[in-house]
Homo-oligomer: A and B are copies of this chain.
Amino acid sequence: MQVWKDYQEQHKDRFLNELLDLLRIPSISAKAEHKDDMLHCAEEVKARLLEAGADLVTIYPTDGHPIVYGEKIVDPTKPTVLVYGHYDVQPADPLELWNSGPFDPVIVDGKIFARGSCDDKGQFYMHVKALETFTKTNTLQTNIKFIIEGEEEIGSPNLATFVTNNKALLKADVILISDTSMLSMENPSIDIGVRGLSYIEVEVTGANRDLHSGVYGGAVANPLTILSKMIASCHDENNHITIPGFYDDVVEATPEEREKMAQAPFDEAEYKEDLGIKEVWGEQGFTTNERTGTRPTIEVNGMWGGYTGEGAKTVLPSKAFAKISARLVPNQSSAVITKKLLDYFTSIAPKGVTVKAAEHHGGEPYMTPIDSVAYKAASKAVLATFGKEPIPVRGGGSIPICALFEKELGLKIVFLGFGLDSDNLHSPNEKYNVFNFYKGIETIPYFHQYFAEMNA
């Protein structure tokens, strides 16, 4: 619609500056020291929703960080779209690898560099600006509700209670989420699946104190060696996971689905060059896209123990630690896999050490049906603004609350993401292309328009 385009063109600089302001708030949910930043960020989100034309915005406190709820109801008989996003971000460590401050956004070569630029401030904010576009041009044909939470990066521990207690408030026809990627701007795609997550932390203790590696070395179990052996034992020589029962509930992709995935544009040479690697790596018998999209995986996210400073120290450490997570596919259960991981790490340790294993947050895998009205509206919206029908693909990341939404609200989810895999999510120098930000703001109104028309 020309009226949208005109309005957005006129206000594009302000849209971008508002996002940069939001990115300056270090809303790291995982770190207790950022509690005040989280509150500040929630207040900002509320103010922006009101400015954009929402007629009711409330900050709901939780046992953790608050949830911002907002709505614009134009007509109760029209379809309602519930937009979900999150204002919290990942920690910025390791800080020394950033080329500019993670919370001092800079635009270089058309890319916004900042923690949260893509995940998810830059993406949920497109929906706020889409709302503004509608309200300022008087063209809104759907009701829009927003849940912007502050705990996505730590597993949404308080969202379930909020959703369960507010089913009437959250009543809608579909959930719309922009927290995923496209293959590229030339090959637009829509994620139809996200993987689930299990995440554990393992602590291995040998002796009750750090020891001299000469005096005791060879006679007392070294927790780093033991933990290395435990981690090494999780995969066999084909990089197949060996934890008993790990694959039990996996629904394998069908030959048809695998064939369709193989047709999606993917340039392995470019992929390797971008990552600076000589070879890809993974479970034998599967392509790179299958490995990240359709197969469950186990990764070590962090590991530490002993002397890690300058020079050499001949210590036999008392403790070793690892953070280990699994990505899950339909129809694996996060609780079941978490238990298998915990059992595995606590059961295989030799008697010379003691092992404590505890769980962090998890989440269920989720798949979107591509024959739904909502998916079709999304596909048509992308076609309208990209001039190309989007490819349905399975994404590797996790959005733990999808299964919850489906269960509690009985709603399907559409992922309308505008990021790129190369946006350095969760990494130093996270970025989001200015082009993608504007393209999202341009595309989202079409989704609402088509969704309203298809439901009419």
Contact = CB atoms under 8 A, between A and B. Distances in A.
Contacts of A299: 213, 217-218, 222, 225, 314, 316
Chain copies in the assembled complex: 2
A91 interface: yes
A211 interface: yes
B314 A301 contact: yes
B232 A360 contact: no
Contacts of A428: 209-210
A181 B315 contact: no
Interface in A1-46: 30-32
A306 interface: yes
Contacts of A238: none
Interface in A253-284: 275-283
A305 interface: yes
A354 to B, nearest CB: 8
Interface residues of A, number: 101
Given A215-B292, A219-B292, A312 B361 contact: yes
Contacts of A296: 218
Contacts of A425: 212, 215
Contacts of A234: 225
Interface in A392-429: 395-398, 421, 424-429
A207 interface: yes
Contacts of A214: 194-195, 197, 292, 327, 395-398
Contacts of A159: none
A275 B228 CA distance: 22
Contacts of A322: 224
Interface string A160-203: 00000000000000000000010000000000001101010100
Given A97-B210, A428-B210, A323 B301 contact: no
B228 A32 contact: no
Contacts of A306: 300-303, 323
A303 B304 contact: yes
A281 B195 CA distance: 40
A85 B217 CA distance: 23
A296 B30 CA distance: 44
A109 interface: no
Given A292-B215, A299-B217, A276 B323 contact: no
A233 B231 contact: no
A295 interface: yes
A288 interface: yes
Given A307-B302, A312-B323, A281 B210 contact: no
15 contacts: A30-B310, A93-B313, A195-B214, A209-B275, A210-B424, A211-B426, A213-B426, A218-B396, A219-B292, A221-B281, A224-B302, A279-B351, A299-B314, A300-B305, A315-B426
8 closest cross-chain pairs (CB), A and B: A208-B276, A218-B297, A214-B397, A302-B306, A232-B232, A30-B311, A221-B281, A281-B352
